[in-house]
Amino acid sequence: MTCPDKPGQLINWFICSLCIPRVRKLWSSRRPRTRRNLLLGTACAIYLGFLVSQVGRASLQHGQAAEKGPHRSRDTAEPSFPEIPLDGTLAPPESQGNGSTLQPNVVYITLRSKRSKPANIRGTVKPKRRKKHAVASAAPGQEALVGPSLQPEADAVAPGYAQGANLVKIGERPWRLVRGPGVRARGPDFLQPSSRESNIRIYSESAPSWLSKDDIRRMRLLADSAVAGLRPVSSKSGARLLVLEGGAPGAVLRCGPSPCGLLKQPLDMSEVFAFHLDRILGLNRTLPSVSRKAEFIQDGRPCPIILWDASLSPASNDTHSSVKLTWGTYQQLLKQKCWQNGRVPKPESGCTEIHHHEWSKMALFDFLLQIYNRLDTNCCGFRPRKEDACVQNGLRPICDDQGSAALAHIIQRKHDPRHLVFIDNKGFFDRSEDNLNFKLLEGIKEFPASAVSVLKSQHLRQKLLQSLFLDKVYWESQGGRQGIEKLIDVIEHRAKILITYINAHGVKVLPMNE
């Protein structure tokens, strides 16, 4: 018989030791069975019955616990969470990578898989995608239109200027229009944009501060508007004018009454980068430019499209400039400092209507992108490649007489002849450091303070990423953030070289917000 080890068992055994002998004596002795003895015996019998029932229940529970003992120990070691999916979405504490000290017995749940898109850029957090059947967002105040889709037609004729149902590229198969759901019943002269979602993505409350409302409106116009006509431009670059939907109702489908965009080759994609860099530096001298996929041109590859501006002054056919200048004349203008500080130049100075500060802005911009087709059309300041225009045009030997070399793409606006407009901004990111064109900086004694401050700051990369992210087609065509970062590396390195040049040559940094 084992000795009880709990207080309740001690009490039970003590009472039993008193009741059992007394009951046995009452029923076996010859004493009279008085009422007190009968009550005491009855109470003892009831208590013994209660003890028997408790012992039977305890033995049953002990047997069940013995059968479930191994399972209970395993469940205690590994608690289950029926409400948490066990499909690999639980991230262990050490995989969080935030460097904080984590307490044990804490469950971390990853609700979404790791992002496959570029890392989050400040101000560009994309909201939850909703399945809507709305058309691409047009410019503020404009009604979005959806045109018909395109299918190739083998037997159509390719005119020189195709409009409406005969949009063609010269020498390629033309297209015919196919009506589809949601097409506005204005006529057949519309081409449906390739995507119903706007290619200019702004997920924050406002666009970046360096882009104006007009910039955003024009970018969306170029990226999302339906195409109403197409015609080639008298240019060796192969550019074409796209007549876009967005003009006044009943307007003639031509540039002027209707908005137009200059569609260039896929190799000219750096025009888009140049536009964003110009706005970030505060120069504001380029025309809005976006990337767009044109199914009827270049096999659907992304191409840059630049806003066609009717306010530009007429340009000559040979230099594409509204002002005819040579390199020698240009150097003389830099010395005269025309129109600086509000001074009217003398008639014998030979000054043009262009302000002196415009040349400083152009030189800084061209050096960062290594654009040579304005100030160095003969490629005399660097070692050109076979693909460069100066080599293909046979202009390289003219470097012996640089003073007579003509400048190109010097454009003004009709209503604003003091300021330049930077056109044809194809840059080169593969130019090595020992082959940079420093001739672009020759004669420049001042640079704009706003642009230099951006180059010196640590925010150029962040601003370029945030700005270029708006153009969805361009971002994806360059390989996402990884490809964009490589282009920014080149610009940052050239910016450091330019700052070193400024310090070494004593170039002044002046405010140029005249």
DSSP 3-state of 328: helix
Across 290-318, b (16+ Cβ under 10 Å) vs e yields: bbbbbbbbbeeebbbbbbbbeeebebeee
**Residue among 512, 410, 505, 373 at smallest CA distance from 452:** 512
**Predicted confidence (pLDDT) per residue in 86-101, tens digit:** 343 334 444 444 444 4
Predicted local distance difference test score (pLDDT) of residue 156: 30
Threshold 0.75, pTM exceeds: no
H or E, element range at 260: strand 260-263
Separation of alpha carbons 115 and 126, rounded Å: 12
| pLDDT at position 503 | 96
pLDDT score of 204: 86
Q: Two tokens at 117? A: 């898109």
Tell me: the pLDDT tens digits for 245-284?
766 666 667 787 788 999 998 999 999 999 999 999 999 9
Token pair in block for residue 211: 């882009």
What is d(CA 373, CA 393) in angstroms, rounded to the nearest whole number? 12
pLDDT profile of the chain (514 residues), mean per 10: 53 62 57 69 79 65 52 43 38 42 38 43 49 39 32 31 34 34 36 66 92 96 88 68 74 78 92 98 97 75 93 86 94 94 88 96 98 94 90 79 91 95 95 95 96 95 97 96 97 97 96 79
- The region that residue 354 occupies, defined by phi over 0 for left and psi between -120 and 50 for alpha, beta otherwise, is beta
Closest C-alpha to 176, from 194, 186, 164? 164
**For residue 191, with 0-12 CB atoms within 10 Å meaning exposed, 13-18 middle and 19 or more buried, which class applies?**
buried
**Residue 360 backbone dihedrals phi, psi, to 5 degrees:** -65, -40
